[in-house]
Amino acid sequence: MPAAGDAVLLLRLAGPLQAWGSRTVVNQRETGAEPTKSGVVGLLAAACGLARADLLDELTALRLGVRVDAAGTLMRDYHTVSDYRGRPLLQAGVSAKGVQRPTSPAKHTHVTARYYLQDAVFVAALAGPRAVLERLDRAVRAPVYPLALGRRSCPPTQPLSLGVHGGSVEDVLREHPWQASVRARERHLDRVGRATEAEGPYRPARVPRPVTIEDPYGTDVVKDVPLSFDPLGRAFTERWITRDWYEIPTGFPPVESPAESPPHDTATATGTATETATDTAIDASSETGSGPYDAPTGHDPFTLLW
- Residues 236-259: tens digit of each pLDDT: 999 999 999 999 999 888 765 444
Query: At 81, is the pLDDT very low, low, confident or very high (cuts 50, 70, 90)?
Result: confident
Question: Does the pLDDT of residue 22 top 80, yes or no?
Answer: no
Q: How far apart are CA 290 and CA 284, in angstroms?
A: 9
Cβ count near 32 (within 10 Å): 21
pLDDT, tens digit (0-9, with 9 covering 90-100), for 205-237: 999 999 999 999 999 999 999 999 988 888 999
Three-state SS for the chain is CCCCCEEEEEEEEECCEECCCCCEECCEECCCCCCCHHHHHHHHHHHHCCCCCCCCHHHHCCEEEEEEEECCEEEEEEEEECCCCCCCCECCCCCCCCCCCECCCCCCCEEEEEEEEECCEEEEEEEEEHHHHHHHHHHHHCCCCCCCCCCCCCCCCCCCEEEEECCCHHHHHHHCCCCCCHHHHHHHHHHHHHHCCCCCCCCCCEEEEEEEEECCCCCEEEEEEEEECCCCCCEEEEEEEEEEEEEEECCCCCCCCCCCCCCCCHHHHHHHHHHHHHHHHHHHHHCCCCCCCCCCCCCCHHHHHC
Q: What does the alpha-carbon distance between residue 249 and residue 295 come to, in Å, rounded to a whole number?
A: 17
Query: What number is the average pLDDT over the span 170-192?
Result: 93
Average pLDDT on 272-297 reads: 39
**Residue 266 confidence (pLDDT) above 70:** no
270 pLDDT band, cuts 50/70/90, is: very low
Instruction: Report the range of poorest mean pLDDT among 77-86, 117-126, 171-180, 287-296.
Output: 287-296
Centroid of chain to Cα 192: 22
What residues pair up with 115 in beta bridges, in sequence order? Answer: 76
CA distance 259 to 263: 9
Q: Which of 183, 178, 162, 173 is nearest to 251 (CA)?
A: 178
Beta bridge partners of 17: 118
